Amino acid sequence: MLQRLGINRRSTLAQREAFLFYILIIPWVIGFVVFLGYPMLRSLYLSFTDYNLLSPPTWVGLRNYERIVNDPAFWQSVKVTLIYALGSVPGGTIIALALAMVLSQKLRGVNFWRTIFFLPSILSSIAVALLWLYIFRPEGGLLNIVLGWFGIKGPGWVTSETWALPALIIMSWWSVGGQIVIYLAGLKGIPESLYEVAEIDGANGWAKFRNVTLPMLSPTIFFNVVLAIIGALQVFDAGWVMTRGGPNDATLFYMLNLYRRAFQFVQMGYASALAWILFIIIMVITLLVIRSSAAWVYYETEQK
């Protein structure tokens, strides 16, 4: 009898916990359905329609996707965005890791420098773009003034078809404060005993970095790289504020092209199709990076 009462009591407790769980998760479910699930399904439907906001959507099947394949602006935006990602992600990763290595040392005033390097990542992207617009000015810009000290005539940067995209890549390296914080946390988690063992084996600074720091930090690097790739493929603010996609579409980012189609040409169906193509591109690239992680990401709990 006592055993049966104990079973009934545990069953009642489990039911109460389950009920509380569903009550607490309902707000999240509602938010997901209203603000994410429904808009995604709606945009998927609109991608198969001709829709200009002024009249009801008209079903056109795969016509929008056929237009995308034959649209030069689409291919230019894909090219520009991929080049930007190939420049900003590796460069930003190296700079953030190098700064984190320096800031992890016991230096005088290190907390001040950590704050200074983190600040750009929390500033408004529009404010950052306007600041760099001044730095990249062809005449009187800070960067060209510094180059002039060394006898180098600086280019037009954002006004140059050749240098506009490299300028935006350089600007992206400035806002790596978030990555630095994550790398600092990862560095703090590396046991000092590993460095002591490496020193006993005669390892120098570079050997310790290559054989201890990089393997132990590889999950953190992997996390930052995935987020950086996703962010780079969705870049918009810099191209819109600083160059408007020019000159000659040299900085026509994918999101900027999508914005033009949606809000300048009011082609909502076509823009929805572009959005889903971008979703597929991001998903494929992210999955490839995740699949590659088995070859270079080391987890301490793995059994060799």
**65-120: per-residue pLDDT in tens?**
999 999 999 999 999 999 999 999 999 999 999 999 999 888 888 888 888 888 88
Instruction: For the chain, give every domain's residue range.
Output: 2-37, 63-296
3-class DSSP state for residue 59? strand
**50 - beta bridge partners?**
58
For the chain, the 3-state helix, strand and coil shares in percent, each to the nearest 5, are 75, 0, 25
With a cut of 70, list the residues of the chain below it in pLDDT: 1-10, 300-304
CATH code 1.10.3720.10 for 63-296: yes
C-alpha pair distances (Å), 240 with each of 125, 150, 237? 11, 32, 5
* Residues whose CB falls within 8 Å of the CB of residue 53, separated by 6 or more in sequence, listed in order: 266, 268
Please give the pLDDT value at position 195: 87
Please give the pLDDT value at position 19: 87
Please give the pLDDT value at position 122: 86
Q: Tell me which long-range contacts 82-87 makes (C-beta under 8 A, separation of at least 24).
A: 83/165, 84/165, 84/168, 84/169, 84/172, 84/232, 84/235, 84/253, 85/229, 85/232, 85/233, 87/165, 87/166, 87/169, 87/172
CB atoms within 10 A of CB 97: 23
Please give the pLDDT value at position 57: 94
Please give the pLDDT value at position 7: 59
58: enclosing H helix or E strand: strand 58-59
Please give the pLDDT value at position 98: 94
Please give the pLDDT value at position 304: 46
pTM reported for the whole predicted model: 0.89
